[in-house]
Amino acid sequence: MRVLHSAMLLALVLAAAFGSFMWQSLPLHAQEEPRTAGAQPSTDQDYSDTYRQLDLFGDVFERVRAQYVEEVDDKTLVETAINGMLTSLDPHSSYLDEDKFGDMQVDTRGEFGGLGIEVTMENGVVKVVSPIDDTPAFRAGVQAGDYIVQIDGEPVMGLTLGEAVDKMRGKVGTEIELLISREGAEGPIEMTLVRDVIKIRSVRHRVEGKAGYIRITTFNQNAESGVRDAIQDINEQLGPELTGYVLDLRNNPGGLLNQAIAVADIFLDKGEIVSTRGRHESDTKRDNATPGDMADGLPIVVLINGGSASASEIVAGALQDHRRTILLGTKSFGKGSVQTVIPLPGHGAMRLTTARYYTPSGRSIQAKGIEPDIEVEPAKIESFHIRRIRESDLKGALDNDKKGANDNKDKDENKAKSSTEDGDNTEEEEVQDYQLIRALDLLNGLSLYGGQHADRASETAVEPSAPESTQTQP
């Protein structure tokens, strides 16, 4: 009876969970197919085998509770059993308890109540990597390199980094006291800060020469607005001198599907962006671009590598299929599936793979990845200088400006100075982002070719001048 009771209890729990799943995942446009009178539903099954399997689970559940070497609470057993069921389906389906579900919501929402500092753990205490501009920590004077030794009077020593971060986060408008140790200060510094809404920066940008560099670290809810702001700022800085953009998606693990679609739409004027296809034909959905290209048709080079996954691959694949960009780097990760997060009230949520996505050309990249148009492996750049004899080094060489022999003295002095400078730099070694350098070189080449081609086209398009006897209006 005890085993039967547990099996029935578990059956009710699982039935409730799957009922929630069916409600959450049912497409809005799905309709029930008409049935013939007296016919059995197409989904009719013999559930006797299902009940036998649940009875087996209940038996195992009771044995573990009664005979395992250490006592384990029922909640842990049930949650781990559900998680085991989901993780056995594929690497991306899983169960999220309430804490993990909350953390995931923070990551995808892109904002939380906190102080606004990037931190790491060093020697058992929290070290500030950098304060974020215009946040409570920045306004209070927290500096990079500071050590947080106490939070609300509790020592940080002994806490994990995650536990310390959880203590610093909290409800917007609440106060928190920090005790900070700073190198060069006479003693510990006490600070009282008020938590505020902190937005996670998923997009960073800067100007590289005459090109705009935009890096997306993750596709949270701020990704689209961040890219739009970046393009606007780069345009204001460079104006008509802007030659194109480098969109850096390297090591971007993905994020929200709708944000990937929105970011791709920024650079596309028409056509399909992505299609998602689920278990049933009615689950197929296609997303198309809307009119308007914020880049005004300028060249785009997208950087990808083995860490570019999911939403990153949606953007890269859409731009590549429409020949709107040149992909540069190494093959992407190859995650071509879509996960739906289904809340389970009072029990966290489940992350379930519900569809595969396809690029506009109809290709699935699941377990294949996206091949770059130009493969460029990461490399280390070593700069070196070789002193070579030039025409200007030869004794009595003619001057280019034909000023005469009076400039020979200055020429000799400049030659000696040049030799000294070259000698000083022969041992210099510089490490740079080789893939980014190649992308910028590619943009410069496209700009030069486009400019020369346009000049030649304009020359051939000029109409012949009118005869001298013909008068024209100014």
Give the per-residue SS3 of 266-313: HHCCCCEEEEEEECCHHHCEEEECCCCCCCCCCCEEEEECCCCCCHHH
Q: Which helix (H) or strand (E) holds 158?
A: none
Residues 313-371: pLDDT tens digits? Answer: 999 999 999 999 999 999 999 999 999 999 999 889 999 999 999 999 999 999 999 99
Annotated active-site residue 361? The verdict is no
* β-pair type (203-208, 211-216): antiparallel
| Residue scoring higher pLDDT (111 or 277) | 277
Helices (H), 211-256: 223-238
Arithmetic mean of pLDDT, 212-238: 96
Residue 37's pLDDT band, with cuts at 50, 70 and 90, is very low
Residue 147 CA from chain centroid, whole number: 29
Give phi and psi for 350, each to the nearest 5.
-120, 135
- Secondary structure of residue 198 in the 3-state scheme: strand
Arithmetic mean of pLDDT, 233-260: 96
Helices (H), 26-174: 48-67, 74-87, 98-109, 136-140, 161-168
Give phi and psi for 223, each to the nearest 5.
-65, -50
36-45, 116-125, 374-383: which range is least confident on average? 36-45
Annotated active-site residue 321? The verdict is yes
Please check the confidence at residue 420 and state whether its pLDDT lies above 90.
no
Please check the confidence at residue 431 and state whether its pLDDT lies above 50.
no
Per-residue model confidence (pLDDT) at position 75:
92
Highest mean pLDDT among 18-22, 418-422, 439-443: 439-443
Contact 215, 308 (CB under 8 A): no
The catalytically annotated residue of 146, 287, 321, 337 is 321
Residues 84-130: pLDDT tens digits? Answer: 999 999 999 999 999 889 888 888 888 888 998 878 888 888 999 87
Residue 455's pLDDT band, with cuts at 50, 70 and 90, is low
Averaged confidence pLDDT in the chain? 82
Which one, of 185, 151, 157, lies nearest residue 169 by Cα? 151
The catalytically annotated residue of 310, 312, 337, 447 is 310
Arithmetic mean of pLDDT, 124-140: 86
| Residue scoring higher pLDDT (4 or 221) | 221
| Residue scoring higher pLDDT (67 or 144) | 67
5-14, 21-30, 94-103: which range is least confident on average? 21-30
Which one, of 403, 169, 171, 363, lies nearest residue 272 by Cα? 363
Please check the confidence at residue 382 and state whether its pLDDT lies above 90.
no
The catalytically annotated residue of 199, 335, 337, 447 is 335
Arithmetic mean of pLDDT, 444-465: 62
- Secondary structure of residue 30 in the 3-state scheme: coil
Annotated active-site residue 335? The verdict is yes
Residue type present at position 315? V
- Residue 144, judged by CB atoms within 10 A of its CB (0-12, 13-18, 19+), counts as exposed
Per-residue model confidence (pLDDT) at position 17:
42
Query: What is the Cα–Cα distance from 130 to 151, expressed in whole angstroms?
Result: 18
